[in-house]
Chains A and B, each alone.
Chain A
Amino acid sequence: LAKTTQPISMDSYEGQEVNITCSHNNIATNDYITWYQQFPSQGPRFIIQGYKTKVTNEVASLFIPADRKSSTLSLPRVSLSDTAVYYCLVGDSSNDYKLSFGAGTTVTVRA
């Protein structure tokens, strides 16, 4: 499994864009990048996944440079309800059927 490194915490204000960068220097060819969100006392929730370039859905965007050694989750115009822990996971889905969570990034959105 590729090891991931992401900031422990980030603070933001309502209406701002939040960008969380995850480093995964030893990402393998078959690895996908997946992001989950976890609110306090809730289970993790799948946000977005990608392999390369850019992926966008109704919740977030995921930017992956050509070398794939990092990725950036972008949350547009955050609100107080986006306060959560965000996890970056990297793995080969064809061989690895369990999710390995790290410590994640605690994003705190203030009014």
Chain B
Amino acid sequence: EPEVTQTPSHQVTQMGQEVILRCVPISNHLYFYWYRQILGQKVEFLVSFYNNEISEKSEIFDDQFSVERPDGSNFTLKIRSTKLEDSAMYFCASSEVQQTNYGYTFGSGTRLTVV
């Protein structure tokens, strides 16, 4: 079964540092997403990306966040200056179509710890 791959699985960074979380979506998928889950809380939508553009973003996705598809396979989330409250699991997802009822495939996540 095709998988969404995320690296690293764990990242510890100091407050104020930049981090880049990496994802390799499923190869024939066209739509890409980032979600996050703070420990013990709900899974929250951050951003959706299609055709090299952000198609939708949430209030959480402020100027400190950016996404990029630097080549044909990777999809990255950059947090420019991390804060303690950015500590969370970050999940990448991809889908063949954008309609939610078809189901999205999520990766196993990157646990980001900001100290």
The A interface is mostly helix, strand or loop, or mixed, namely loop
Q: A99 touching B42 by the CB < 8 A rule?
A: no
Among A32-49, those with CB < 8 Å from B are 32, 34, 38, 41-46, 49
B11 part of interface (Cβ distance < 8 Å): no
Question: What's the A-B contact tally at a CB cutoff of 8 Å?
Answer: 66
Question: Could you give 23 example pairs across A and B, Cβ below 8 Å?
Answer: A34-B100, A34-B103, A38-B43, A41-B89, A41-B108, A42-B106, A42-B108, A43-B92, A43-B108, A43-B109, A44-B106, A45-B106, A46-B104, A49-B101, A87-B43, A91-B101, A93-B99, A97-B31, A98-B48, A99-B35, A99-B45, A99-B100, A100-B45
Residues of B within 8 A of A96 (CB): 100
Q: Which of B43, B92, B100, B105 contacts A97 (CB 8 A)?
A: B100
Residues of B within 8 A of A102 (CB): 42
Interface residues on B, range: 20 to 34
Q: Which of A34, A87, A101, A103 contacts B101 (CB 8 A)?
A: A34
The B interface is mostly helix, strand or loop, or mixed, namely strand
Least CB separation from B103: chain A residue: A46
A29 part of interface (Cβ distance < 8 Å): no
Of listed A87, A89, A93, residue having the most chain B CB within 10 A: A93
| Nearest 7 CB-CB pairings of A with B | A43-B106, A46-B103, A32-B101, A93-B99, A93-B101, A101-B43, A98-B45
Q: Which of A42, A44, A45, A91 contacts B100 (CB 8 A)?
A: A91
Residues of B within 8 A of A100 (CB): 45
CA distance A79 to B105 in the complex (A): 23
Q: B111 touching A41 by the CB < 8 A rule?
A: yes
